[in-house]
């Protein structure tokens, strides 16, 4: 029996961000009287890199935590003509856009490109692409939770990385005689969706390494809900297996795979699945047993 443990990491993102560091000169940290001090210190910095392979520049604010309070940051752009431009950055409470720095090391990142930030806020003038920027620095940081203080890092400083403590999502099953297993933090597992039209679920995990597609089913999930899964696709050992989810006969192809919800919380669900899966990608039918999903984020409902 072969065993696969596929832990998904965004090494490409980590490499890109390392490259971005080289493209940004940063001034020394500003005086502490504009930077909130507190019992718990959050490391933070800002860079203005050029995206690899593009003329596009963006403002990226980084900090090494996820906190349940908003953060207001002022980033000062120093232009080569001597002008200074102050950009207000608002990071909402609980904001999470973690980027891997290798292993379990993460940095929370907020990106501003042009006049739109990475959470879709386009109401604040952010970065003018015509600016000839010599450097950027954070000149103010505040938070309504006075427990938190901030230390602005320069490019030469070492990060104390954020280490996630949240749930780990796992998906495992036996297919014919082989055992397949995937695991990663829940925020790295893609988004499960319920499409109200045509009333079907799409369960997506680990950058689409595993995807299950239901027949017609009701929303929301409930403990004991059982649904047919006529289509399933997964990647294993650099190959793609399963059935085409959009095939013309995927809803009545002879597959007997079924998924049952075994546990629910306000944010996550567990499920089991097993049965025969008709495969349009391989000549053989796939017999799946002991399928289990643990700590998966609840599906979001979308109109179509």
Domain boundaries, the chain: 9-152, 168-302
> Stretch 43-52: mean pLDDT, rounded?
81
Highest mean pLDDT among 47-56, 131-140, 257-266: 257-266
Measured CA distances, 262 to 110, 253, 304 (Å): 36, 26, 26
> Stretch 160-174: mean pLDDT, rounded?
92
- Which pLDDT value is given to residue 55? 61
User: Could you give the 3-state DSSP secondary structure of residue 176?
Assistant: coil
96-119 pLDDT tens trace: 888 888 888 999 998 876 555 555
Which H or E run includes 85?
Answer: strand 84-91
For the chain, the average pLDDT equals 81
pTM equals: 0.68
Residue 163 has pLDDT above 80, yes or no: yes
Do residues 131 and 79 make contact, with C-beta atoms less than 8 angstroms apart? Answer: yes
% the chain with pLDDT above 70: 78
> Stretch 236-252: mean pLDDT, rounded?
73
- Which pLDDT value is given to residue 103? 82
Q: Edge-to-edge strand order for the sheet containing 200-205? A: 239-242, 231-236, 210-213, 200-205, 193-195, 300-302
């Amino acid at each position: 029996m072969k065993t696969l443990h596929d832990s998904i990491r965004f090494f490409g993102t980590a490499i890109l961000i390392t490259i971005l560091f080289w493209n940004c000169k940063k001034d020394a940290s500003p005086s502490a009287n504009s930077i909130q001090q507190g019992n718990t210190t959050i490391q933070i910095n800002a860079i203005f890199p050029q995206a690899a392979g593009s003329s596009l520049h963006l403002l990226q604010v980084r900090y090494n935590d996820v906190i349940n309070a908003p953060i207001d940051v002022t980033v000062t752009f120093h232009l080569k003509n001597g002008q200074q431009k102050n950009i207000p950055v608002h990071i909402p409470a609980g904001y999470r856009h973690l980027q891997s720095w290798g292993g379990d090391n993460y940095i929370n990142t907020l990106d501003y490109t042009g006049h739109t930030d990475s959470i879709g806020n386009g109401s604040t003038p952010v970065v003018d692409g015509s600016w000839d920027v010599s450097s950027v620095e954070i000149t103010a940081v505040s938070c309504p939770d006075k427990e938190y203080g901030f230390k602005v890092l320069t490019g030469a400083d070492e990060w104390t990385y954020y280490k996630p403590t949240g749930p780990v999502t796992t998906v495992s099953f036996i297919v014919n005689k082989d055992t397949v297993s995937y695991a990663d933090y829940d925020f790295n597992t893609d988004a499960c969706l319920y499409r109200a039209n045509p009333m079907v679920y799409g369960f997506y995990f680990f950058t689409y390494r595993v995807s299950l597609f239901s027949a017609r089913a009701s929303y929301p999930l409930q403990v004991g809900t059982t649904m047919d899964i006529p289509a399933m696709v997964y990647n294993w050992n650099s190959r793609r297996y399963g059935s085409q989810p959009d095939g013309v006969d995927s809803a009545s192809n002879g597959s007997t795979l079924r998924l049952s919800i075994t546990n629910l919380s306000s944010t996550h669900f567990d499920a089991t699945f097993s049965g025969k899966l008709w495969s349009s990608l391989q000549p053989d039918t796939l017999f799946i047993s002991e399928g289990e999903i643990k700590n998966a984020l609840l599906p979001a409902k979308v109109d179509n």
